Amino acid sequence: MAWEIYGRTIKKVGVIGSGNIGPEIALFFSKVIHGQGVPVIVVDIAEQALKSGEARIKGKIGRGVKTGAFKKEAADSMIANISWTSDYSQLKGADLVVEAATEDIGIKRKIFAELEKVCPESAILASNSSHMEPEFIFEKAQHKNRCLVIHYFFPAERNIIVEIVPGKDTAPEVESFLMSFYELIGKAPIRVKSRYGYAVDPIFEGIFLAAAFLVEKGLGTVKQVDNMAQRALGLGVGPFTAMNLTGGNPIIEHGLQEMHDKIAPWFKLPAILKSQLASGKSWDTAKRGEEISYSESTYEKVADYLRGAYFGLVCEILNSGIVSLPDLEMGVEIALVAKAPFQMMNKMGVEKALELVKAYAQEWPDFFVPEVLVKQAKSGKPWDIPMALREDRDDIAVITLRRPKTLNALNSTVVSQLEAIFKAIKDDDQIKGAVITGFGTKAFVSGADINELASIRTPGEGEALSLRGQAILNQIENLGKPVICALNGLAFGGGNELAMACTARIARKGLSFLCGQPEPRLGIIPGYGGTQRLPRIVGLANAWPILRTGSPVSSQEALEIGLISQEVEGDMKEAGISFARKVISGEIKIPPIKKEPLEVPDSLPEVDIGHLSRKIDEIMKKAILEGARMTLEEGLKHEAKTFGECLNTKDMRIGMENFMKFGPKRNAEFSHS
């Protein structure tokens, strides 16, 4: 079979190397493309490596079946879809090949010479190098225009970040295809210009180096500094533990030496790494459940040093111009499982962050104080971290909400950015319409940020939060230019409310769960217009059970009740742009939302709310029915006030605390008061 996608045909995918990361890359590919009938071929010259890689992947898939992550049929299909071979000729006809062999330039060049013999000229050839510049890797390649680096992060099948690093000869259309392709198959690709180490690894290795220097300085043992680094930077695991997990000691040895010459003199081989390499042992890190003790005064000193190094490293990358700030922020936070660096700096104050970097550079004089950080501190302003990204396609503005870690959840920052973007669109005479969509394929917007909702304490705060969100959605609704919501995935809570404020909605075809207002499960009611717009779009009788039960509807159901205008296949952005142009031309006419009061029938269907709070249901019914008898403007204000009333109930706290502790799968035990 063949997969026709973004103007290319993918019939076969290859992975070279069955060592540390190659099998995981193959597993990821098989998970996402086995249903397309596209085989994955793993090639390695060592039969034992092939056997080991195959056993490892079968073990992972088997564990996934036991945990319920995979159904047995899908697991069997994924396993059958991967072939393991030492025969390069099996890659004949492959359209995408990722080399994941050792970081040895001679081996890499030999591999790509073999690939050029068996793969068609149209095939994309990529290296999963963690450091080498693509121009260096592909210096001997015959067709450099189809060659580049695609850098995965540990663990490759789960970590969603990939760095897309084109060389100076890489064709722009190859880069663009891969950015779209990887987003479609569940990754979060970031564009990075060619430089040794790319964007993320100098930070990863720099954190390790800073930690190693602190051990050498006598501020703690490996175990202690590992733990303190994890705590100070919000790391998923400490830097020494990360080296053990990834087998990174030999790679970082070479990487630090190269970065010393190519980035800054501060990067160098620490004495403790030399000793560790000579011993061949793993770092002595804490065992599971082991408690590590140290004084708080020592921690504060170590934390300041580590944060100074972290902020300096991140700003050096930004200063180099190889990557954008939002891509760097997302890449570091997700790839390294660390606190988002620019948000950290904003929270403590950029001037304070600069002080930490300067203090670190004073202690380690070879360290850098990046000019971009100096300028930002002088401005007195926080870093601007775009999470709503605007891209103009001729006369159509395309807005993409990108917070993949939270499935694009709305928070106050995103709401403020939407306000600024839509004000600019309204004032831009060149723009005739807009499309808003979400990053990836899982979610348009998964809802409002639960942490912000849980932080409100009084009815007044709740009403103010609701009115703030409503104001932005009203701005979109009354823009004077059509705004099409391209629902690339689920739209729950505030996401569905945002979609309903748009002129029209289209959705990816075949979604079992598309839209819903799950607020009753959290012990609240919708606050961004859900109780008012949904009845006016789909009718009160249809909206009544959706709002009161919090149950989602599929894309097909949404089409049937009029919540969306179309189900579409293919690229959602392109579909949204096409739909917007038809609305602008008058080819498609979308009736405006009803702003006058609705007729409320004498009776509505009985609704079984199950375990949900009867107290919150009373507030919900009040918001829906009384608001329906008002104008839309009045009804929205009424909704905000009734949303605030939820703060007077015990069930709001019960619902919020249950969700924060257990997530959406466990029902809250409401008190109905």
Q: Which two tokens stand for residue 457?
A: 């304490």
Q: Which two tokens stand for residue 380?
A: 């007195």
Burial code (b: 16+ CB inside 10 Å, e: under 16) for 376-405 equals bbeeeeebebbbbbbeeeebbbbbbbbbbe
What are the C-alpha distances in Å from 22 to residues 16, 99, 127, 328? 7, 8, 11, 25
Contact 653, 573 (CB under 8 A): no
pLDDT at 453: 86
CA distance 665 to 653: 17
Cis before 155? omega within 30 = yes
CA distance 293 to 320: 39
CA distance 200 to 149: 14
pLDDT digits (tens, 9 = 90+) for 248-285: 778 899 999 999 999 999 999 999 999 999 998 999 99
Cβ neighbours for 165, distance < 8 A, ≥ 6 positions apart: 134, 148, 149, 150, 151, 192, 193, 194, 198
Kindly give the residue spans of alpha helices, DSSP state H, lying in 68-124. 72-81, 105-118
In terms of Cβ atoms closer than 10 Å to its own Cβ (0-12, 13-18, 19+), residue 130 is: buried
pLDDT at 190: 98
List of long-range contacts for 419-423, beta carbons under 8 Å, 24+ apart: 419/471, 419/472, 419/475, 421/388, 421/390, 421/397, 422/472, 422/475, 422/476, 422/479, 422/483, 423/475
CA distance 317 to 527: 40
> Residue 587: what residue type?
E
Cβ neighbours for 2, distance < 8 A, ≥ 6 positions apart: 9, 10, 11, 37, 38
Counting Cα atoms < 13 Å in the Cβ hemisphere of 118 gives 18
CA distance 162 to 200: 10
CA distance 116 to 135: 16
CA distance 25 to 19: 11
Q: Does the active-site annotation cover 519?
A: yes
Residue 488 DSSP class: -
Counting Cα atoms < 13 Å in the Cβ hemisphere of 86 gives 7
Kindly give the residue spans of alpha helices, DSSP state H, lying in 119-194. 134-137, 172-184
Report phi then psi at 490, rounded to 5: -65, 150
What are the C-alpha distances in Å from 232 to residues 219, 316, 353, 360? 15, 20, 14, 15
pLDDT digits (tens, 9 = 90+) for 336-374: 999 999 999 999 999 999 999 999 999 999 999 999 999
What are the C-alpha distances in Å from 296 to residues 23, 286, 432? 43, 19, 58
Contact 362, 344 (CB under 8 A): no
Report phi then psi at 294, rounded to 5: -170, 160
Q: Which two tokens stand for residue 544?
A: 């009544």
pLDDT at 530: 98
pLDDT at 405: 93
Cβ neighbours for 518, distance < 8 A, ≥ 6 positions apart: 447, 492, 493, 550, 552, 664
CA distance 595 to 635: 9
Helix (H, G, I), strand (E, B) or coil at 381: coil
Q: Which two tokens stand for residue 149?
A: 């680096």
Given the residues 205, 497, 567, 645, the one annotated as active site: 497
**Which residue in the block uniquely carries the two structure tokens 């304070």?**
352
Positions in the chain short of pLDDT 50: none
pLDDT at 251: 85
Which residues, listed in sequence order, are joined to residue 482 by a DSSP beta bridge? Answer: none
Q: Does the active-site annotation cover 4?
A: no
Q: Is the alpha carbon torsion for 330, 336, 337, 339 positive or negative?
A: negative
CA distance 188 to 190: 7
Alpha carbon distance, N-terminus to C-terminus of the chain: 58
Cβ neighbours for 322, distance < 8 A, ≥ 6 positions apart: 192, 193, 194, 195, 198, 199
Contact 163, 133 (CB under 8 A): no
SS (H, E, C) 174-205: HHHHHHHHHHHCCCEEEECCCCCCCCCHHHHH
Given the residues 54, 519, 639, 645, the one annotated as active site: 519
What are the C-alpha distances in Å from 549 to residues 226, 352, 498, 499, 546? 47, 48, 20, 20, 6
CA distance 415 to 201: 32
What are the C-alpha distances in Å from 106 to residues 113, 121, 651? 11, 22, 65
CA distance 24 to 156: 5
What domains, with CATH codes, occur in the chain? 3-191 (3.40.50.720), 201-379 (1.10.1040.50), 388-662 (3.90.226.10)
Which residues, listed in sequence order, are joined to residue 434 by a DSSP beta bridge? Answer: 397, 483
Q: Which two tokens stand for residue 327?
A: 């891509």
Counting Cα atoms < 13 Å in the Cβ hemisphere of 263 gives 35
Q: Determine which helix (DSSP H) or strand (DSSP E) holds 53, and give its type and residue range.
A: helix 47-67
CA distance 278 to 276: 5
Contact 53, 41 (CB under 8 A): no
